[in-house]
Amino acid sequence: MEPQRAPALRRLLPPLLLLLLSLPPRARAKYVRGNLSSKEDWVFLTRFCFLSDYGRLDFRFRYPELLARNICGLQAKCCQNILLYFDDPSQWPAVYKAGDKDCLAKESVIRPENNQVINLTTQYAWSGCQVVSEEGTRYLSCSSGRSFRSVRERWWYIALSKCGGDGLQLEYEMVLTNGKSFWTRHFSADEFGILETDVTFLLIFILIFFLSCYFGYLLKGRQLLHTTYKMFMAAAGVEVLSLLFFCIYWGQYATDGIGNESVKILAKLLFSSSFLIFLLMLILLGKGFTVTRGRISHAGSVKLSVYMTLYTLTHVVLLIYEAEFFDPGQVLYTYESPAGYGLIGLQVAAYVWFCYAVLVSLRHFPEKQPFYVPFFAAYTLWFFAVPVMALIANFGIPKWAREKIVNGIQLGIHLYAHGVFLILPFLFCIPTAFPTILDLSTLPLPPPTFCHHRPLFRKKQLGWHRVKLFFFFF
């Protein structure tokens, strides 16, 4: 029988999908608006990675004039302030979540010569504040902008303060941009190139998917379209859908600076699904399914079902954790969480299982060595690519460049996996190099032991063109 899928997983997926899509979107800097009412005297608003000489903040703030007056009825010189911190260790890291620092201490790290303070009063000309009346209430309405210049791309963090006051109240609207180009305007500097990269990989994966469908059609005509190859086609198709939704999200984001967070979550779910399908396919091939045997034992099917259910749930927990618990005041990578470390552990466990399965298959079917040796070598690199990428991203890539670099590396890893699986069979179409792979007489139905039985396919089925031998050894 073919490997069984976990019924429990099928029942869990619909509610989990609805839960993820219903999660409230996290506020992302680019176009930000909202109403703030807090008893705190120092509050973080948003962050953005500005490009040197091209970064700009345009803002509109409004709050009741009463809050800008002191007890004597005179307009205060220092009321609510917009504070602009950058990512130097002496700036934002020194004040954010620093329990030993009060509001004044957090303001003291600001460098006045860098114009990092915007006083929201009419006495500060650069704030663009003026008094307006609306329904009998007087407001201070401040509309202006600020350009950013630095030696390199930097993360800038925007906070609101009113030290010694009775809390904060503010309506705010901010547009944070990098230049005027469609490809950069609303993108943080760490996101530059993501849309172009996703479009490029989308076109490549569309080609891979169509090629897989073509060869699948040829295999079906010979009644050789096995489950493992169907899984490869499914993984490639889901990858295409994932990249399509990513492109839709980033395209809309490039247009309005907001995007649709539900579309992005759906794209991430599809991306993870493609990965999981491909991972399951590799483990099955390692165990010899469609290579040395036609069935997986009941115990093996149960183990696979439990493992894939655990892996899927961990992926979902990671997405929920990222959406709900990642601190917007810190630049965090997806794997910087307990769920992320759990995924890395599961990836290592999958590799150990993969190694064991391949070794057992080779011990009982040494004639399959010409296939399993390059197969094992190629996908050993793939199994270690994700943990290595996570370590490099966490400790080796600057935060102001991390998201775009990791996005390219992650897509490259997926392309490597699919490309190898698409190209590797051509190596086995050369009889002089791999003469045993073309002989399917050793493909048995699996009994409890690895004894050889009569072939699943007759040798006369091998008499077709070499190109049509694609995946014939499955």
**Helix 298-325 × helix 338-364 angle, to 10°:** 160
Cα distance between the two ends of the chain? 16
Cβ atoms of 129 and 118 within 8 Å: the answer is no
Q: Are residue 355 and residue 445 in the same domain, yes or no?
A: yes
pLDDT number for residue 204:
97
Residue 453, domain member (yes or no): yes
- Say how many C-beta atoms besides its own lie within 10 A of residue 378's C-beta: 16
pLDDT digits (tens, 9 = 90+) for 411-461: 999 999 999 998 876 655 433 333 333 333 344 444 333 334 333 333 343
CA separation for the pair 15, 12 (Å, rounded): 6
Token pair in block for residue 308? 């894939």
CA separation for the pair 218, 5 (Å, rounded): 27
**CA contacts within 13 A on the Cβ side of 64:** 11
Q: Are residue 341 and residue 406 in the same domain, yes or no?
A: yes
pTM of the model as a whole: 0.79
Residue 119 structural domain: 31-178
Q: Are residue 67 and residue 14 in the same domain, yes or no?
A: no
Q: Are residue 402 and residue 460 in the same domain, yes or no?
A: yes
pLDDT number for residue 11:
54
Cβ atoms of 337 and 318 within 8 Å: the answer is yes
Q: Which helix (H) or strand (E) holds 161?
A: strand 154-161
Residue 1, domain member (yes or no): no
pLDDT number for residue 14:
52
- Please write down the HEC assignment for all residues of 396-435: CCCCCCHHHHHHHHHHHHHHHHHHHHHHHHHHCCCCCCCC
End position of a domain, from candidates 140, 156, 178: 178
What CA dihedral angle connects 409, 415, 417 and 423, to 10 degrees? -140
Q: Are residue 165 and residue 202 in the same domain, yes or no?
A: no
Nearest to 249 by CA among 265, 235, 234: 265
Cβ atoms of 362 and 374 within 8 Å: the answer is no
**Helix 261-286 × helix 227-256 angle, to 10°:** 160
Expressed in percent and rounded to 5, the helix, strand and coil fractions of the chain are 50, 15, 30
CA separation for the pair 384, 348 (Å, rounded): 8
DSSP for 10-66, please give it.
HHHHHHHHHHHHTSPPPP-TTEEEEEEEES-SEEEEEEEEEPTTTEEEEEEEEEEGG
Residues of the chain with pLDDT under 50: 1-9, 12-13, 16-29, 70-78, 429-474
The one-letter amino acid code at 389 reads M
Residue 2, domain member (yes or no): no
Q: Are residue 291 and residue 218 in the same domain, yes or no?
A: yes
For position 314, which CATH number holds? 1.20.1070
- Please write down the HEC assignment for all residues of 126-151: HHCEEEEEECCEEEEEEEEEEEECCC
Q: Are residue 346 and residue 451 in the same domain, yes or no?
A: yes
Q: Are residue 159 and residue 199 in the same domain, yes or no?
A: no
In degrees and rounded to multiples of 5, residue 98 shows phi and psi of -95, 95
Q: Are residue 125 and residue 14 in the same domain, yes or no?
A: no
Q: Are residue 270 and residue 393 in the same domain, yes or no?
A: yes
End position of a domain, from candidates 178, 212, 227: 178
Residue 414, domain member (yes or no): yes
pLDDT number for residue 66:
65
For position 39, which CATH number holds? 2.60.120
pLDDT number for residue 98:
87
CA separation for the pair 259, 345 (Å, rounded): 33
Token pair in block for residue 231? 């899984």
Q: Are residue 17 and residue 50 in the same domain, yes or no?
A: no
End position of a domain, from candidates 114, 146, 178: 178
**Number of compact structural domains in the chain:** 2
Residue 207, domain member (yes or no): yes
**Helix 194-221 × helix 227-256 angle, to 10°:** 160
Q: Are residue 316 and residue 391 in the same domain, yes or no?
A: yes
Residue 280, domain member (yes or no): yes
Nearest to 212 by CA among 417, 460, 445, 2: 417
CA separation for the pair 101, 99 (Å, rounded): 6
Residue 200, domain member (yes or no): yes
Residue 153, domain member (yes or no): yes
- Say how many C-beta atoms besides its own lie within 10 A of residue 349's C-beta: 13
